[in-house]
Amino acid sequence: LVINEIHADPDPELGDANGDGLASITDDEFLEIVNASGASVDLSDWTIWDTILSRHTFPPATILPDGCAILVFSGGDPVGDFGGALVQTASGGGLYLNDLGEIVSLRDPGGDVHSTYTYGIEADQNQSITRDPDVNGPDPLVPHSQAAGSGGRLYSPGTRVDGSQFWGCMISAQ
Ligand SMILES: [Ca+2]
Ligand SMILES: [Ca+2]
Ligand SMILES: [Ca+2]
């Protein structure tokens, strides 16, 4: 499970990552986690933590297919297909991603940390930070608009930086 993209500092005018028509420096925060494990993963009752507190508990029946992404937005009412990714909003009322630095971790129901990422002031650029290239890129994450293929976009919730789907995601037929 790869923490692939972190939107800690949404642009106050251009940062409408959740697609609800309102750019919010809080609600439009998100985490994008990609399952590159080779098998589907049951995330039910797993949690997302910031440096100090649990901010989200994945609800029952959260099954992340191999090769697909799950998005956790801080809030709002997400609108869009997001590349077929699973989409949730923070159960604790927000992700509270500090713009200047945070330790983000994904923990199983027993509290064991399965993925963690620590960022600093590089996140404070009115855009997300992302792996470059997606999934396999090294630390540190880079500002999204500087990632190869981003076309200058500020974020790519649920998709690769170029807007294409992850290999295991399916957009269901309308
Ligand atoms: Ca923030
Ligand atoms: Ca929004
Ligand atoms: Ca992305």
Cα gap 165→70, rounded to integer Å: 12
Cα gap 4→169, rounded to integer Å: 15
Mind listing the pLDDT tens digit for each residue in 37-77? 999 999 999 999 999 999 999 999 999 999 999 999 999 99
Q: What is the pLDDT of residue 127?
A: 98
Q: Phi and psi of 84, rounded to 5°?
A: 80, 5
Distance from Cα 25 to the centre of ligand 2, integer Å:
8
Mean pLDDT for 101-112 is 98
Ligand nearest to the CA of 161: 3
Q: Percent of the chain, pLDDT > 70?
A: 98
Ligand nearest to the CA of 158: 3
Ligand nearest to the CA of 7: 1
Distance from Cα 29 to the centre of ligand 1, integer Å:
7
Alpha helices in 9-83 (DSSP H): none
Mind listing the pLDDT tens digit for each residue in 130-144? 999 999 999 999 999
Alpha-carbon distance values, 13 to 3, 19, 62, 72, 154 (Å): 25, 13, 32, 21, 12
Distance from Cα 8 to the centre of ligand 1, integer Å:
4
Q: What is the pLDDT of residue 137?
A: 98
Cα gap 17→28, rounded to integer Å: 5
Q: Would you say 66 and 89 are in contact if contact means Cβ atoms under 8 Å apart?
A: no
Distance from Cα 111 to the centre of ligand 2, integer Å:
31
Provide the whole-model pTM: 0.97
Q: What is the pLDDT of residue 80?
A: 96
Distance from Cα 127 to the centre of ligand 2, integer Å:
13
Alpha-carbon distance values, 96 to 11, 25, 29, 47, 50 (Å): 15, 10, 8, 14, 8
Q: Would you say 35 and 22 are in contact if contact means Cβ atoms under 8 Å apart?
A: no
Q: Percent of the chain, pLDDT > 90?
A: 97
Between 4 and 172, the higher pLDDT residue: 4
Alpha helices in the chain (DSSP H): none
Alpha-carbon distance values, 81 to 29, 31, 119, 142 (Å): 17, 16, 28, 25
Residue 127's identity, in one-letter code, is Q
Distance from Cα 131 to the centre of ligand 3, integer Å:
8
Ligand nearest to the CA of 28: 2
Distance from Cα 154 to the centre of ligand 3, integer Å:
10
Residue indicated by tokens 């800690």:
8
Res 97 pLDDT > 90: yes
Distance from Cα 123 to the centre of ligand 1, integer Å:
9
